[in-house]
Chain A
Amino acid sequence: MSDVLVVSEHRRGELRDVSYEAITAGRELADARDGDLHVAVIGGDVDGFAEDLNREGVDAIHAVENGEEFDHNVYQTAIAALLDRTDAGTVVTPNSVNGLDYVPAVAEDRGLPLVTDAIGFEYDDGLTVTREMYGSKVETTVDVDGDRHVLTVRGGEWAPAEGVGDAPVESVEVDLPESGARVTGFEEVGGGDVDIADADVLVSVGRGIEEEENLELVEELADALGATLSASRPIVDNGWLPKNRQVGQSGKVVTPDVYIAVGISGAVQHVAGMKGSDTIVAINTDPNAPIFDIADYGIVGDLFEVVPELIDEFA
């Protein structure tokens, strides 16, 4: 039971990067437990995916040829079958939207302890997971009972697995029970006339703006700088700006030359969408806001005082 099963993830014909990161995390755990690393790929072009996933350190690949896109029923059934036919005691998956839709059910079904959103772990007679709490303000270490578990790992915390492996690929087909949840399609959201992913300079606004009326101030700054206006999730949730302006995991990934975060605390989901910017500037009242951890320049101050002064500088 010291083997590890990593479940990869793909969407619309492409493996997602977090799959390779999960392989690195899985290998780390398998090494600590002196076990083998199994990788599962479920649905879609499993043969092509299996080839890409065959990286250094992978001991076996299981290609489950059921379905095209993600379906939690298929994933649950396939993983249960793989846990039966391998010696894997721990399941490691990306902590992703689709992960949230099937991993808790797998853990519950098997009666395994579940720890989500791991940013690190150690294995020494038992598993100790590092994760964040209270909106990234603190880190905790969590001891997990028993030697079998389910772990989801946060994107960007482990390096993607590299190299070419020579793991055998085994085709698997599972019997699917009838499902009461059916995927009927996919839709891109947003659209609109502006593509923030094309902008060289972004002025991005977050919860710190407090009221919809105050958006005008940040619009004025964007105008003065010749920049494009974008936003973090709460602004879009409030309906103050359309979805196509949202930067983050569930919005757009942007890589401008300059990204100016105004009143954005820097939740991990937001950072996932903008950390590739060349220069990051943050204006925020809270000196401990996580946005300062990735910023190149920061002003700890009240945006309602700083932004008007900045507009004056460029007027």
Chain B
Amino acid sequence: MAEANQLFKEFKVQSVSEFFRRNAAMLGYTGKVRSLTTVIHEAVTNSLDACEEAGIPPYIRVELEELGKEHYRVIVEDNGPGIPEKYINHVFGKMLAGTKAHRNIQSRGQQGIGISGAVMFAQVTSGKATRVITSTGGDILEAWVKIDVDKNEGKVVKKERHPNPRGWRGTRIELEVKNVRYILSKQGVYWYLKLTAIANPHAHIELIEPDGRLIVFPRSSDEVPEPPVEMKPHPKGVLTDDVYRMARKSRRTTVKRFLIGEFSRTSEGKVKELIEYIAALRLIKTETDKNVQEQLYERLMNGEVKEVLRSFRGYTKVVKQVARLMEKPPEKLTWHEAEEIVEAFKYMKFLAPPTHGLRPIGEENIEKGLKGILKPEFVTAVTRPPKVYSGGIPFQVEVGIAYGGEIENGFELLRYANRVPLLFDAGSCVTTLASRSVDWKRYRVQDPEHTPLVLLINVVSVHVPYTGTGKQSIASVEEIQNEIRLAIMDAARRLKTYISGKHRTLHQVRRRKTFEKYVPEIARALSILTGEDEGVIADYFLKFIENRFKARETRKAEVSESA
């Protein structure tokens, strides 16, 4: 048997960077096509976020240069605010560093490892540093960034300064990557950018393909969306660990202040209630009879906290104990106490979490995006009001439908999470499940496989429940699936109205012709019967038909406006 000491000879502390270098798949670097898409995704996402935070309509240019077999230079340039010099090595070099990771905020990325992951990917495949050219308005800075894998640190290996006579502002990064492939598949760069353009109609996106072809996805909306705002977590959506750590970091003076100040929907009154619930829970745990215990839990769930308390002798003492706990400094909160708080939260009732931090694309912008990029003949969008899943995590669902026009035959599902296109793992995604659960025939889509139909689904949340680290598939949470379904049906109803209307118009024309073709026959017969002139009779009939159809059309328009 080997000695423990011997075994631990090989034991080594692995840096975060090292971990991700070995587990690139978790960041989306799997497969030659997907890896390239991921690199571009990280760069473009950063650009979009930066522009939005600065309130600038994004202008993003992606360029691909083929340097050899499966060897490309990827250039992404934006007109964003630029990166201050001292942050360059952090932005590009350090994993798990960013402006959002530690906040309860809706964001395109989540862990803040995006672009540094791309830099690392470039570095490990081509050995080359990433070239960053940026300006915040002053001089232009050109820097070559590498990652010190062992230390998890960015390193600017070379830096140059250039004058900026034209006042250019923005960021351009150039990465050299190998083991990737550019193809025009549904998982490729072209498709990814197209989907991004649809969900971000305020962005102008250009792509120069390796063969030099320029593809432009023009801006179709002038309105730059407001950047998302931070939201305090909702009591129902937190884990013990969250409470424990938040308490550690909090600058509030007491646990009570901490709870009121750093959680949403938590007030003075709610803390009083919380004290009673914690006390009740403590007392219930002292009960030895399992059946009685069960009953008490149930009554607590029904909100009968006072009655539960009163059923124990000397309960005021326990309540006072718990009340004292609320007065101590939050950093003194123990793990056990945090656990008690979270458990009590589960039994309590809270208002639904605030949703002001959610930033949906919006019905109007979805329509603009779909219309601008896909050139359909009909488009509609539905943004549902925010809802909550697993008790306290707000989310919102949006759906867009584009039909006909330049869209090719066949059903296409465009999936998004927080506006980010999801290209992989469609099969297991809640969006796919929801769209399949809809009976399209009911909406006059007889054969979806041969109908020019595009369905866009965007799930917005501060915490999108992805199924894996690849972040390409949303877990089938029941609340989310229901919302998606409702949104699809809502939008599909409008599609149905449109399709029926189209049929109706065609039908009307055909109907009118039916009547008109009989007029000469009728006129001749009536002329024989009455002795009046055939031509005059025909005119009466044609005029009559015309008036009737005109009346019908105006009547219909009025109805649809009021509806």
Answer whether A and B are interacting partners: no
> A residues touching B (Cβ–Cβ < 8 Å)?
none
B interface, CB within 8 angstroms of A: none
